């Protein structure tokens, strides 16, 4: 094999990227995974105390059992599981190497990274959607006190914290920081806590709200943030609160600019799904595939690890068929 030339380049070293590498190995195709951060980078940046919604068996890849002590695995267990898989199968992965350009000439893809240039017959993009936060686009959002990612509740002990959002990440952050002694206010755009919140967490947050332990403003939004206060637009007018930190956990989106630069068509209307064949996962660019949650565009509740694991098999089945057609 020529140096830095592979049958398949896999962009993204998360669970689905690893699953694609396992399938490539099973089909005797050469590959390399290119990951801009650490192994399963997105999972690493999840909150430290996070518990998955799914049971461990639904997070398995490559038919390798994921054994946990509790029915719902924690972030640390998932990191260990996927690390062991990478090491056991010696999956070929380049860490801390970000892909900057993917272009195609004469049926060969040229993939440029921050460290090297690779060529391949096929490319699989499995980059997820956790890298670019959905911004509030209000004055003061650039202050250091505003965080779009949340990890450890201890940091917010004895602080006045506003948490924006009604989904799992927001509710987990509100409860965990409250239990570390933070004065917590929830700001929710809709009229209720999201029905998608984990079923064992939803009663907890509702009871904390009923008891007056966590303040909540429904049908409301932040309009401005200063070093010492935050402005909330409510149905009853503006409320100004003293504030130390704002956790704006309002969701994330794929890197559409990167996808477009690779030639992938993106729908202009929300949810801005990248064009791909749902049976093969091939995009409008021949030989360029999507895998995992990136396929949903802004619809980040469409794909998860558990229901997108099959993408690896779909893609490799199509690639194998293409290779057989070339030989016939």
pLDDT in tens, 239-287: 999 999 999 999 899 999 999 999 999 989 889 999 999 999 999 999 9
- Residues 126-147 have a mean pLDDT of 94
pLDDT in tens, 291-301: 999 999 988 88
Q: In this structure, what CATH number is given to the domain that contains residue 67?
A: 3.50.50.60
The secondary structure of 247-293 as a DSSP string is EE---EE--HHHHHHTT--B-SSTT-PBPB-TTT-BBSSTTEEE-GG
Residue 62 structure tokens: 């490559």
What phi and psi, each to the nearest 5 degrees, are found at residue 171? -70, -40
Structural domain count, the chain: 2
Distance CA 231, CA 138 (A): 10
| Whether residue 94 sits in one domain with residue 44 | yes
pLDDT in tens, 36-82: 999 999 999 888 889 898 899 999 998 899 999 888 999 999 999 99
| Whether residue 179 sits in one domain with residue 127 | no
Distance CA 223, CA 221 (A): 6
| Whether residue 302 sits in one domain with residue 290 | yes
| Whether residue 163 sits in one domain with residue 308 | no
pLDDT in tens, 188-208: 999 999 999 999 999 999 999
| Whether residue 14 sits in one domain with residue 111 | yes
| Whether residue 150 sits in one domain with residue 203 | yes
| Whether residue 89 sits in one domain with residue 12 | yes
Looking at residue 1, what is its pLDDT?
46
Looking at residue 327, what is its pLDDT?
86
Residue 43 structure tokens: 């999972």
| Whether residue 275 sits in one domain with residue 175 | no
> Do residues 51 and 76 touch, judged by C-beta distance below 8 A?
no
Q: What percent of the chain has pLDDT over 90?
A: 88
Residue 203 structure tokens: 């009663």
The pTM (predicted TM-score) of the whole model is 0.92
> Do residues 40 and 130 touch, judged by C-beta distance below 8 A?
no
Cβ partners under 8 Å of residue 40, min gap 6: 13, 14, 15, 18, 78, 79, 82, 83
CA distance between the termini of the chain:
22
Range of the domain at 39: 5-132+252-327
Boundary-marking domain end, from 215, 248, 281: 248
């Amino acid at each position: 094999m020529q140096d830095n030339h592979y049958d398949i380049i896999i962009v993204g070293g998360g669970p689905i990227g690893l699953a694609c590498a396992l399938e490539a190995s099973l089909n005797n195709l050469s590959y390399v995974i290119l990951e801009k951060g650490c192994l399963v980078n997105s999972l690493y940046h999840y909150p430290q105390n996070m518990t998955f919604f799914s049971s461990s068996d639904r997070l398995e890849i490559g038919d390798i059992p994921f054994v946990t002590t509790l029915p719902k695995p924690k972030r640390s267990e998932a990191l260990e599981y996927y690390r062991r898989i990478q090491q056991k199968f010696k999956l070929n992965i380049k860490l801390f190497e970000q892909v900057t350009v993917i272009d195609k000439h004469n049926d060969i893809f040229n993939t440029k990274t921050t460290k090297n240039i690779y060529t391949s017959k096929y490319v699989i993009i499995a980059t997820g959607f956790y890298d670019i936060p959905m911004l509030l686009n209000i004055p003061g959002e650039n202050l250091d006190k505003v965080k779009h990612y949340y990890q450890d509740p201890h940091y917010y002990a004895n602080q006045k914290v506003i948490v924006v959002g009604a989904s799992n990440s927001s509710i987990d952050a509100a409860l965990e920081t409250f239990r570390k002694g933070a004065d917590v206010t929830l700001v929710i755009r809709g009229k209720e806590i999201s029905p998608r919140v984990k079923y064992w967490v939803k009663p907890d947050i509702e009871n904390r709200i009923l008891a007056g332990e966590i303040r909540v403003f429904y049908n409301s939004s932040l309009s401005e943030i200063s070093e010492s206060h935050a402005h909330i637009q409510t149905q009853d007018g503006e409320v100004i609160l003293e504030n130390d930190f704002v956790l704006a956990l309002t969701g994330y989106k794929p890197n559409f600019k990167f996808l477009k630069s690779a030639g992938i068509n993106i729908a202009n209307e929300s949810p801005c799904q990248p064009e791909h064949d749902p049976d093969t996962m091939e995009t409008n660019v021949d030989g360029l595939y999507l895998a995992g949650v990136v396929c949903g565009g802004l619809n980040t509740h469409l794909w998860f690890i558990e229901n997108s694991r099959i993408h690896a098999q779909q893609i490799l089945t199509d690639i194998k068929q293409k290779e057989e057609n070339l030989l016939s």
